[in-house]
Structure 1
Amino acid sequence: MFIITMYVNNCPKKSLSCIARFLGRFSFQPFKENPLLGPSSMTLQKMGALDVKKVVDGHQGWRLISCNWLHGGVFHLLANMLSILVIGIRLEQEFGFVKVGLLYIISGFGGSLLSALFIQSNISVGASGALFGLLGGMLSELITNWTIYANKVAAFITLVVIIAVNLAVGILPHIDNFAHIGGFLSGFLLGFVFLIRPQFGWFGQGYAPLGYIPSLSKI
């Protein structure tokens, strides 16, 4: 999706100071416009960024979902992809594509919804709300299946610290912390539904999986 967005952006057509002009229409907007190495805000808006005015006045509710598949730049995209590799793949291996996929998408919607309620003057893009939903789901899964985890206290403390640090970083400019919070709360609640292990089966096998301790870079 990012490649398509950059193709539509076509920086050389609008600016003489594009970054990496050798990339042609895939080159990036000037740093003063987008320091993340990405498209213009106008292009993001055109491609489906969360814009409250368009959602309300233009009846474009689909933006609450589409914004989760857009990214502000290369740095933004890489950070989220790394987080998906660290968190998403592990969850998918344990609970399956369908459950984790639903958790991801619905959490992203929840993050967009809370963002739209509190941030109405700027556009918003990114999968951070959905990724925080995965973190929330991990926390509720740990709580629900507490009895079958070894090193449970260490896993719980580590996960809470990771969540707290990322929320703290979210107070920096240009970071939509409301999307983070909305996604986290959605994922936390959904985790009690989607991420329940067959506990009795584990006990019957005499198996107690180690509490996995995730690492996460800034979303």
Structure 2
Amino acid sequence: MSNADVEAGGPAGREATTGIKPPPGRYNPSGNGPNAVAPAPPPFYYYDQAAAQERHHRTWVVPLVVIANVAMFVVVMYYNNCPANGGRRDCVGRSFLRRLSFQPLRENPVLGPSAATLRKYGALDWYGVVHGNQAWRLETSTWLHAGLIHLAANMISLLIIGIRLEQQFGFWKVGLVYLVSGFGGSVLSVLFISRNGITVGASGALFGLLGAMLSELITNWTIYSNRCAAMVNLIIIAAINLALGILPRVDNFAHIGGFATGFLLGFVLLIQPQFGWSEQVSSAKSKYNAFQIILLTLSVALLIAGFAAGLVSVFKGVDGNAHCSWCHYLTCVPTSSWKCDK
């Protein structure tokens, strides 16, 4: 290895710092020839620089989703119109927010509209989905939020998780994972939701992105330069967020359903050519290895079977709790400090 290679950031230097040789055709320090590339953007935390360079997409879907969620919240609050709802004087922020003011804290502690308003504008409602021919609630509920605090937490998480994924894989893949995962979370949620309750929020879709990040790491294992750190970080983040779902008033079934859906979709949509493959360099090496193909095939089969079984069960009015006596502990564990609604 020459000092010039290290100082110039050439192949030898890259191998020394990342422990991985750059794939053929992905790096050309001279800037000339058919494989010349523009200066690379800052590398992502776990990808080697050459791999990150090929995955830098413009980000617009994630910010657009955030704007849409915020706009939807404002519209719902406008029609909620707390002051006109029985002439209440205890609406939060009534003096300056007027009809956009929040319901009393005793009714909605996260600063938002009433349950009746959420139900009217698309919240996930078991009776509406099963007996009211309102299957659209399985998706519309993911665009509603119970309150300002709920909205802020989800949108900040979406920006942190979603922008990174969209930069690497593009808008349509990340957008599809987000939408389908939200739907998958709603399907599992409606099987276990209280028959008189409602649920809203983008958490299922967010957990889908988190699940996709984990499966993307697994299926694209060969192009990561710091595999163990990436795996440990993602597992810890997923475990902490799922653990928070055992608190009351949190729909952990939507989290679990969204995570499982996103995890499977990641094997299908976020698959990348294995390390060493290049379109510019003729090679006998296949674009995807057998491990990736097997995971993709199994994931497609499980997604089809899972959605088919889930939707059939939903529209038959199956009560998941009647078939699983302990499943309610997945979404709420009673303690001396709080109780759980079964």
TM above 0.5:
yes
Aligned to 1:5, which of 69, 73, 76? 76
* Structure 1 segment 163-178 matched on structure 2, within 5 A: 163-178=238-253
1:202 CA drift (Å):
6.5
3-state SS of paired residue (1:19): coil
1:101 equivalent in alignment to 2:162: no
Aligned to 1:20, which of 76, 79, 93? 93
How far apart, CA to CA, are the structure 1 residues paired with 2:156 and 2:174? 17
1:24 CA drift (Å):
0.7
- Paired position in structure 2 for 1:211: none
- Paired position in structure 1 for 2:192: 118
Contact 1:53–1:120 (8 Å) recurs in 2: no
User: Any unmatched runs of 5+ in structure 1?
Assistant: 206-219
1:201 CA drift (Å):
6.2
* Structure 1 segment 1-219 matched on structure 2, within 5 A: 1-14=72-85, 15-21=88-94, 22-121=96-195, 122-200=197-275
1:196 CA drift (Å):
1.1
How far apart, CA to CA, are the structure 1 residues paired with 2:201 and 2:125? 13
1:150 CA drift (Å):
1.1
Which residue identity is paired with 1:49?
A
Which residue identity is paired with 1:17?
D
Contact 1:148–1:202 (8 Å) recurs in 2: no
Contact 1:84–1:131 (8 Å) recurs in 2: yes
Which residue identity is paired with 2:92?
I
1:203 CA drift (Å):
6.9
1:87 CA drift (Å):
0.5
Contact 2:223–2:275 (8 Å) recurs in 1: no
1:147 CA drift (Å):
1.1
How far apart, CA to CA, are the structure 1 residues paired with 2:114 and 2:251? 18
User: Any unmatched runs of 5+ in structure 2?
Assistant: 1-71, 281-342
| CA radius of gyration, larger in | 2
Contact 1:103–1:187 (8 Å) recurs in 2: yes
Inter-CA distance 140–24: structure 2 relative to 1 (3 Å threshold): same
Inter-CA distance 202–174: structure 2 relative to 1 (3 Å threshold): farther
Q: Describe the superposition over 1:103-140 as per-residue Cα deviations: whole angstroms up to 9, x where unpaired.
A: 00000000000000011331000000000000000000
More helix by share: 1
Structure 1 vs Structure 2 CA RMSD: 1.4
- Identity, in percent, stands at 67
Contact 2:179–2:205 (8 Å) recurs in 1: yes
Show structure 1 runs of 4+ deviating over 3 A: 200-205
- Paired position in structure 2 for 1:217: none
Inter-CA distance 7–154: structure 2 relative to 1 (3 Å threshold): same
Inter-CA distance 204–149: structure 2 relative to 1 (3 Å threshold): farther
Which residue identity is paired with 2:79?
V
3-state SS of paired residue (1:164): helix
Inter-CA distance 154–123: structure 2 relative to 1 (3 Å threshold): same
How far apart, CA to CA, are the structure 2 residues paired with 1:39 and 1:45? 10
Contact 2:213–2:266 (8 Å) recurs in 1: yes
1:198 CA drift (Å):
2.6
Contact 1:2–1:71 (8 Å) recurs in 2: yes
How far apart, CA to CA, are the structure 2 residues paired with 1:150 and 1:97? 25
Q: Describe the superposition over 1:51-85 as per-residue Cα deviations: whole angstroms up to 9, x where unpaired.
A: 01011110100000000000000100000111111
TM-score (norm 2): 0.59
1:200 CA drift (Å):
4.5
1:151 CA drift (Å):
1.2
The count of corresponding residues between Structure 1 and Structure 2 is 205
How far apart, CA to CA, are the structure 1 residues paired with 2:274 and 2:81? 53
